[in-house]
Chains A and B, each alone.
Chain A
Amino acid sequence: GESVGLHLPTLSVQEGDNSIINCAYSNSASDYFIWYKQESGKGPQFIIDIRSNMDKRQGQRVTVLLNKTVKHLSLQIAATQPGDSAVYFCAETRAGGTSYGKLTFGQGTILTVHP
């Protein structure tokens, strides 16, 4: 089956530190990956995405790294702030075809940033 979340790992960092959140995906056919931030009681919020033809993509304070060989995705947050505290999910899908839009979510990581 696909990735299923049962227990959420946690990451605690100090304000100003860099955070790295990891994700293992399961479907070799996936060619589009997205990181989402979810705050309590809210829907997922888009952070950054990457296509399978790329290894790295940078946004504002965030960087996503993709290693297709080991099916691993990471999200790096620079100078983490208390407002970054949330649950972070990676999601995989195919960017076209009948599966377009059907996201498979990773297990999620709870990020807590201490002032």
Chain B
Amino acid sequence: GAVVSQHPSRVICKSGTSVKIECRSLDFQATTMFWYRQFPKQSLMLMATSNEGSKATYEQGVEKDKFLINHASLTLSTLTVTSAHPEDSSFYICSARDLGTGVVVTYGYTFGSGTRLTVV
């Protein structure tokens, strides 16, 4: 089945630094990937839609200059949290949409294992 790998699984960084999170589709091509954020004991909130070869589209209230998304290939999207602050500490999760087999519609959208970001 479709597998999405996310790296790193955990990262601790100092306030003011930048952190890059990778999302890879391992056995399928993904023209579109989605980035979610989840605060403790809360639901997942969509941050942005990452489109291969074009600019990401951001949900209302998400700062595009702070959360840089690059989708340079059909199997990799990266999310860079720039000038991270403690309030950015969260669980970041990506999901990927299969290029066109239709399987993903039947079996749901494949999620990565998530990245726990802690900014100190």
Name A residues whose Cβ lies closer than 8 Å to a Cβ of B: 3-8, 32, 34, 36, 41-46, 49, 89, 95, 100-108
Contacts and interface: CB of A to CB of B under 8 A. Distances in A.
Contacts of A5: 42-44
A43 B46 contact: no
B42 A8 contact: yes
A57 B15 CA distance: 48
A106 B6 CA distance: 23
B41 A7 contact: yes
Given A104-B46, A105-B44, A34 B6 contact: no
Interface residues of chain A: helix, strand, loop or mixed (majority)? loop
B43 A3 contact: yes
Given A42-B113, A101-B32, A103-B34, A108 B43 contact: yes
Interface residues of B, number: 27
Contacts of A102: 34, 46, 49
B34 A43 contact: no
A58 to B, nearest CB: 15
Given A6-B42, A103-B46, A108-B43, A43 B111 contact: yes
A69 B58 CA distance: 31
Interface in B18-63: 32, 34, 41-46, 49
B49 A44 contact: no
B105 A95 contact: yes
B60 to A, nearest CB: 9
B109 A101 contact: yes
Q: Which 8 A-B pairs have the closest CB atoms?
A: A5-B43, A46-B108, A43-B111, A101-B97, A43-B114, A105-B43, A105-B44, A5-B42
